[in-house]
Amino acid sequence: MPILSSLCARAMLYEKFQSKITHNPSLDRNLVSYQGNKQTPFYSWLKYREGFSERLVTYILQTFKPNPGILIDPFSGSGTALFTASELGWITTGIELLPVGIFATEARIISQKIDIQEFKKLIYKLQKIDYKSYCKDSFTFNHLKITRGAFSEINEKQLVGYLSYCHDLITDHNIQKMLIYAAFCILEDISYTRKDGQYLRWDFRSGRSKSKSEFNKGAILSFEEAIEQKLKQIISDLELNSIQLDLFNDNQLPQFSHNKFGDLENVEPKLYEGSCLEILPTVPGDSVDFVITSPPYLNRYDYTRTYALELAFLGCGEDQVKNLRQQMLSCTVENRDKRTYLEEYYKSKQCEQIFLKIDSVFKQQEALQEILMILEKNKNEGTLNNKNIARMVHNYFYEMCFVIYELSRILQSGGIIAIVNDNVKYAGEEIPVDLILSDIAESFGLTTRYIWTLGRGKGNSSQQMGNYGRTELRKCVYIWEK
Ligand SMILES: C[S@@+](CC[C@H](N)C(=O)[O-])C[C@H]1O[C@@H](n2cnc3c(N)ncnc32)[C@H](O)[C@@H]1O
């Protein structure tokens, strides 16, 4: 296909979905990002920058399904969709691959079970302890290559001493886990690093910074300051929550509506640990009422690098991190093709026909094939920043085809899927992720109700397809229904 006509398939796709693209003034960037959770009790313990906000989940659920049912988030991260929906009476299930989100979800569940008064007493006692005197070799921080030198010597000693103390001297397992989680949440604050999109950025004080311009991350907290602040924040959120629950009990306010199982209490979210590419195919068909999720964006952000400190803290070694990187939904230039693995997986489940069907939907998505061809041409001409960008884009959509097929299969008739995602641009080519994924969803029998755009709402003019350089890339929430 000649490159000049290359806008054709994307223009047609745009025409197809134009009437669905609407600016939703109720949504803003804060709402679809971690920023919206910054002040929210519980959600602000760990800065999970890839998260969306509690308010977004509430908004979506209340807009479409006031009656609670079963909700799933196949990329559940820190569990925002799960906990928010569960507080509204939904039965929730998450799937998460990265140990970071898994630990955050577990800790949040445990936090509801601890004896707050005991926890408070202990925190008071901890303030007088010199952690470093408890340091034990068995709790040494097992650095990965990319985290070595991330802490000052004193901060690392205090951290190791604190962990040794928690493991050896705290007998209540739930409280012990909460204390360890508090340390997990402050790793960045007490380090020379900052998570910066694709990389872990190093402060000049580490002596490790490679960039010419010196980066200064600002205040680096001492371990004692940081842990004290974090523990105070946790206890204050837990106390506030227990006061609210008491009020509820006293006044019999109908905080939870009956869900369809007749449950009044909110049910603890259930979490599957692993890749949704493997777990979704095991979920029964027509069993879910709502999906709210945000897959990794197609933006080259490598969670296994930015969360390297947290992964090392959780005991992941180099090989495990490499494996995780490959298992993640492809969104970095290092991800290799999962086609053979998916083919074998579907065959092992006697689902080869399904594999072939999904594979053919991928091949028939014309706008996508158009983009892949252009990127391949750019690659051959050496005009891509990284030659693996073409492969990354290919793999991202290939894997998303499987995710979307499975979501459409497990959704009940009348069910809704809400997806948060960004469009991206490589080599000057806009990739309308929203339109391509919506078209794939329609190939699997879903209907696109809205593609809500955020921000200033620009970038949606009909001239857009010819004006990549000047338009704002859409940041969207798409709503599909079965
Ligand atoms: C954009 S984040 C979602 C954050 C979440 N909405 C929250 O509020 O915390 C995407 C998540 O998908 C996870 N992920 C990536 N590949 C995955 C896979 N194959 N299976 C399950 N989870 C995966 C990442 O670890 C990350 O936590």
What's the token pair of residue 57? Answer: 């989940």
Output the residue whose Cα is nearest ligand 1's atom 13.
75
What is the Å distance from ligand 1's center to 57 Cα? Answer: 16
Given 181, 212, 244, the domain boundary residue is: 244
pLDDT at 214: 85
In a domain, 104, yes or no: no
- Same domain, yes or no, for 232 and 379? no
CATH number of the domain that residue 396 is part of: 3.40.50.150
Measuring from atom 27 of ligand 1, which residue has the nearest CA?
Answer: 77
| pLDDT for the residue 460 | 39
In a domain, 258, yes or no: no
Nearest to 99 by CA among 340, 346, 357, 303: 303
Same domain, 467 and 336: yes
Residues 8 and 51 both lie in one domain: yes
- What confidence score (pLDDT) does residue 340 get? 98
- Cα end-to-end span (Å), the chain: 35
Mark which of 244, 277, 312 sits at the end of a domain: 244
Residues 158 and 285 in one domain: no
Does the beta carbon of 99 sit less than 6 angstroms from any atom of ligand 1?
no
Domain span holding position 153: 116-244
My answer on whether 128 and 273 are in the same domain is: no
Q: Which of 327, 328, 404 to mutate to test the pocket of ligand 1 (most atoms within 8 A of CB)?
A: 328
Report whether residue 291 contacts ligand 1, using a CB cutoff of 6 Å: no
Task: Give the atom of ligand 1 at the shortest distance from the alpha carbon of 48.
Answer: 9
Does residue 105 sit within a domain? Answer: no
Distance CA 101, CA 114 (A): 20
Q: Residue 263 falls within a domain, yes or no? A: no
Helix (H/G/I), strand (E/B), else coil: 325: helix
Quickly count helices (H) and strands (E) in the chain: 17, 12
> Residue 254 domain-assigned?
no
| DSSP letter for each residue of 43-82 | TTSS--TT---HHHHHHHHHHH--S--EEEETT-TT-HHH
Chain mean position to CA 136: 34
Q: Domain end: 244, 276, 292, which one? A: 244
Spatial CA neighbour of 415 closest among 452, 446, 443? 446
17 plus 147 within the same structural domain: no
| Per-residue pLDDT at 172 | 95
For residue 327, give the ligand 1 atom closest to its CA: 19
Cα–Cα distance for residue pair 2/448, rounded to 1 Å: 31
Q: What are the strands, taking DSSP E only, across 31-175?
A: 70-73, 91-96
Answer yes or no: do 283 and 432 share one domain.
Answer: yes
Radius of gyration of the chain (CA): 23
Structure tokens at 224: 């004692």
| Cβ of 294 less than 6 Å from ligand 1 | yes
Among protein residues, the one whose CA lies closest to atom 12 of ligand 1? 75
Indicate whether 278 and 393 sit together in one domain: yes
How many CA atoms lie less than 13 Å away from 262 in the CB half-sphere?
0
The answer to whether position 380 is within a domain reads: yes
Residue 350 sits in the same domain as residue 465: yes
| 385: Cα separation from own chain's centroid | 26
> Residue 107 falls within a domain, yes or no?
no
Count of residues for the chain?
A: 482
Are residues 224 and 167 located together in one domain of the fold?
yes
Ligand 1 near 276 CB (within 6 A): yes
Tell whether 260 is covered by a domain: no
Residue in this structure with the two tokens 């009422």, named with its chain if needed: 289
The protein residue with its alpha carbon nearest to ligand 1, atom 15, reads 328
The Cα-based distances of 319 to 315, 325, 326, 433 in angstroms read 11, 10, 11, 32
Instruction: Report the b/e string of 407-429 with b at 16+ CB within 10 A.
Output: bbbbbeeebbbbbbbbbbebbeb
Atom index in ligand 1 nearest the CA of residue 303 equals 25
In the numeric block, which tokens belong to residue 118? Answer: 């005991």
Question: In tens digits, what is the pLDDT along the chain, a chain of 482 residues?
Answer: 444 445 799 999 999 999 999 999 999 888 877 776 667 778 789 999 899 999 999 999 999 988 999 999 999 999 999 999 999 999 999 999 999 999 999 999 999 999 999 999 999 999 889 999 999 999 999 999 999 999 999 999 999 999 999 999 999 999 999 999 999 999 999 999 999 888 899 999 998 866 667 899 999 999 999 999 999 999 999 998 777 666 555 544 333 344 444 444 568 999 999 999 999 999 999 999 999 999 999 999 999 999 999 999 999 999 999 999 999 999 999 999 999 999 999 999 999 999 999 999 999 999 999 999 999 999 999 999 899 999 999 999 999 999 999 999 999 999 999 999 999 999 888 999 999 999 999 999 999 999 999 876 444 344 444 444 456 789 999 999 99
Distance of CA 301 to the CA centre of its chain: 11
93 and 122 co-located in one domain: no
pLDDT at 199: 85
Structural domains counted in the chain: 2
- 56 and 202 assigned to the same domain: no
Task: Give the three-state DSSP class for 3.
Answer: helix
For residues 183 and 162, the answer to whether their CB atoms sit within 8 Å is yes
Q: Which residue, chain included where needed, has tokens 């569960």?
A: 86
Cα of 282 vs centre of ligand 1, distance in Å, is 18
